[in-house]
Structure 1
Amino acid sequence: MQVLRKLLFPISLIYGIIVFLRNRLYDVGIFSSTSFTTKTICVGNLSVGGTGKTPMIELLVRTLSDNHEVAILSRGYKRKSQGFLLSDDKTSVENLGDEPFQLKSKFPKVAVAVDVDRRNGIHQLEKMVDPDVILLDDAFQHRKVKPEFSILLTAYDSLFTKDWYLPTGDLRDSKREANRAEVIVVTKCPSNLSQSEKSKVLLSIKPKSHQKVFFSYLVYNTDLKGAEISLESLKDKKVTLVTGIANPAPLENFLKSYGIVFDHLRFNDHHFFTPTEIENLKRKDTILTTEKDYVRLRSKIPNLHYIEVKHEFLFGENELFKEELKQFMSKNS
């Protein structure tokens, strides 16, 4: 696969030129970006693959929802519905998409909507919900909307600064677009990241004067959901790990470090399981999966458990991050 990606280098050059020209047309105003009266916070990345966008949205909801009316707008990738859809208690995972459905299940009082057209989605939410703030999930490269506050995520082991354009690399946008972010979060760091390693990353990113950089690691909840048991109780069981996420490596590493022995059935990101796959999974003794996969499987598979994950900030930065959000919300639009 790596050899093939290198052979496709000429295509990545063409892709990079197209990306540059597109961004340049927005920069000079030939393509227009729309601003909104409702506060908007964009969460996204420059590369394809998992950087922890959904756990970051969850963190923002937990931080903001006590004092503000929060709404979430997502594309709803691979959903079976079309156009704008505001979820309710009857909306299915197939029509909403797995990640928005996960968010709605976890935060039932928060308005969760999907629309490929982000501008229309924001207009509809302003009209139907009138929230204090709209969280734009995976929208950093969608420049038709000009968010007031942008959070750019980049994974510690695959920094955007060391990446290259698709298909040779994983970049879907230009590295220089990182300058549009107010906050950069380096996710999936080792929990024991040293100050010297932090300094090396900062030298690689070279943040601008207006930018704050935070470092986070993933924390897995050892009290499993789906059925209330502990991860400890799985040590003597025959476990099958089922994942349909972009990068399951951190979860794999955590389970191995915890002493869980498992077979891993790995599927593509946002995978919707076929009837044959479901029947195969039903024959497994104990299935452990991610929360995103659980929302697609929960009514179909017995002995199904999922493990929650969240971001925690290193170097005592939890309160500093919350203070950034508080300052943004206190500003007049």
Structure 2
Amino acid sequence: MKKLSPILKSLLFPFSLLYGMVVSVRNILFDFNILPITEFKIPIISVGNITVGGTGKTPHIEYLITLLNDDYKIATLSRGYKRKSKGYLLADETSTSNQIGDEPMQIKRKFPDILVSVDNKRVNGVKNLLKSEHGNDLDAVLLDDAFQHRSIKAGLSILLIDYNRPITRDYIMPYGRLRESASEKDRANIIIVSKSPRNMTPIDRRIIVKELDLLPFQSLYFTTLDYGNLEPVFKNDAINIINEDWAKENFSILLVTGIANPKPLKEYLENFSDVVEEVQFSDHYSFQIKDLNLIQSKFEKLEGENKIIVTTEKDATRFFDMEINQESIKEHLFYIPLRIKFLNEDKSKFDVQIMNYVSKNKRSSNLHNIKTDSI
């Protein structure tokens, strides 16, 4: 996101005050049960943020899936941002990113055995999951990007905060980048400071702890980004690249992204290549034929004998659904998976907290009824 000029920010400040008042009134109505909140007798974990832009929600959801999937039957529920369908949908092997959204599609491709669902109305989504043929076996639901969706009560709420964009030093949009006041962090059971530096010092950690001023019941953890090995988008067509050797070959790279902040990935790739050119689209961008022509043109002009096109895993789901006729793109298009890694001793503590919550609240077969039906 580009920085706004001081004059423009000053003009936007009154709109931030107005927007903040509206959001505050809405939260008060939920706090006093004037707006109804639905609770389900099944473990529900919400992962979200209060900042506009990426904080790493999908990699954290994937971490939770990996943690829980061996022992529990789990489902994910999101709104399916920018999908071209409406209402409730349960993903299957024929689903596309246009139908369910790129992030749910990414999860479904990576974890085909779990239930991946989308619905703009989260309460309706959980109801449909429980009424489905898999409902009686379902042990937990992971809500993606649901911190502001207070019509459903999560048993465990996880709030992500970008290390590089502290909410304690930000303002409500459009003057700043907060969806609601930073004080609303007090609703979270767990706060994770994402995108933290790997070499974070104890002093830096203590400063963040002091600024956040957590409540006694809240837990704080720190995670960093961890990039995986190159993966071909089109396995049957891709050139053969050995992950251990590709960096030594000093490939020229065309980085193609449609995410909120591609800067960390570009900086990562610059560690392995002297030439990293970039084609950047807006977040969740729906690639068109003209974009493929642009990418092919840029790739052909890229210097060097060894060269590849690199994209993100989220973008790869949208490329995968396209009919691409340019063989040079299909042969040279790779993505780099993004994972999260907990710092210090945070991993074991976080894992125990999550597993304890699910195991203690795991419903019995006769406890699947909805406690509250109001929406």
Q: Does 1:317 align with 2:346?
A: yes
Is the contact between residue 223 and residue 231 of structure 1 (CA under 8 Å) also seen in structure 2?
no
Point out the more displaced range, 236-245 or 134-143: 236-245
Corresponding residue number in structure 1 for 2:53:
49
Structure 2 CA distance for partners of 1:161 and 1:225, relative to 1, 3 Å: farther
Corresponding residue number in structure 2 for 1:194:
201
Is the contact between residue 241 and residue 289 of structure 1 (CA under 8 Å) also seen in structure 2?
yes
Q: Quote how far apart the aligned CAs of 1:272 are.
A: 0.3
What CA deviation, in whole Å up to 9, does each residue of 1:111-154 have, x standing for no partner?
10000000000000011122100000000000111100011000
Question: Of 266, 279, 286, which residue of structure 2 is paired with 1:265?
Answer: 279
Q: What is the CA–CA distance in structure 2 between the aligned matches of 1:19 and 1:278, rounded to whole Å?
A: 41
Q: Quote how far apart the aligned CAs of 1:319 are.
A: 1.0
Is the contact between residue 250 and residue 272 of structure 2 (CA under 8 Å) also seen in structure 1?
no
Structure 2 CA distance for partners of 1:231 and 1:189, relative to 1, 3 Å: farther
Q: How does 1:1-333 map to 2 (within 5 A)?
A: 1-3=3-5, 4-128=8-132, 129-130=134-135, 131-226=138-233, 227=238, 229=241, 230=243, 233=246, 236-259=250-273, 261-283=275-297, 284=299, 286-298=308-320, 299=322, 300=324, 301-302=329-330, 303-332=332-361
Secondary structure of 2:271's aligned partner: helix
Q: What is the CA–CA distance in structure 2 between the aligned matches of 1:68 and 1:30, rounded to whole Å?
A: 35
Q: Quote how far apart the aligned CAs of 1:176 are.
A: 1.7
Q: Quote how far apart the aligned CAs of 1:259 are.
A: 3.9
Secondary structure of 1:222's aligned partner: coil
Secondary structure of 2:116's aligned partner: strand
Q: Quote how far apart the aligned CAs of 1:232 are.
A: 5.1
Structure with higher RCO (Cα < 8 A, 6+ apart):
2
Q: What is the CA–CA distance in structure 2 between the aligned matches of 1:176 and 1:152, rounded to whole Å?
A: 12
What CA deviation, in whole Å up to 9, does each residue of 1:23-59 have, x standing for no partner?
0011011111111112100000011111000000000
Q: Cα RMSD (Å) of the superposition?
A: 1.5
Is the contact between residue 47 and residue 158 of structure 2 (CA under 8 Å) also seen in structure 1?
yes
Q: Quote how far apart the aligned CAs of 1:282 are.
A: 2.9
Counterpart code for 1:193: M
Q: What is the CA–CA distance in structure 2 between the aligned matches of 1:233 and 1:260, rounded to whole Å?
A: 13
What CA deviation, in whole Å up to 9, does each residue of 1:218-270 have, x standing for no partner?
01113444356328525533311011111112212222234452111111110
Structure 2 CA distance for partners of 1:260 and 1:94, relative to 1, 3 Å: farther
Q: What is the CA–CA distance in structure 1 between the aligned matches of 2:10 and 2:74, rounded to whole Å?
A: 44
What residue ranges of structure 2 are gaps of 5+ in the alignment?
301-307, 364-375
Counterpart code for 1:244: G
Structure 2 CA distance for partners of 1:231 and 1:34, relative to 1, 3 Å: farther
Point out the more displaced range, 308-317 or 3-12: 3-12
Counterpart code for 2:124: N
What CA deviation, in whole Å up to 9, does each residue of 1:276-298 have, x standing for no partner?
01122234252100000011113
Give the structure with higher Rg (CA): 2
What residue ranges of structure 1 are gaps of 5+ in the alignment?
none
Q: TM-score, normalised by structure 1?
A: 0.96
Q: What is the CA–CA distance in structure 1 between the aligned matches of 2:283 and 2:171, rounded to whole Å?
A: 21
Q: Quote how far apart the aligned CAs of 1:318 are.
A: 1.1
Q: What is the CA–CA distance in structure 1 between the aligned matches of 2:114 and 2:310, rounded to whole Å?
A: 27
Q: TM-score, normalised by structure 2?
A: 0.86
Q: What is the CA–CA distance in structure 2 between the aligned matches of 1:231 and 1:12, rounded to whole Å?
A: 49
Secondary structure of 1:204's aligned partner: helix
Aligned residues: 333
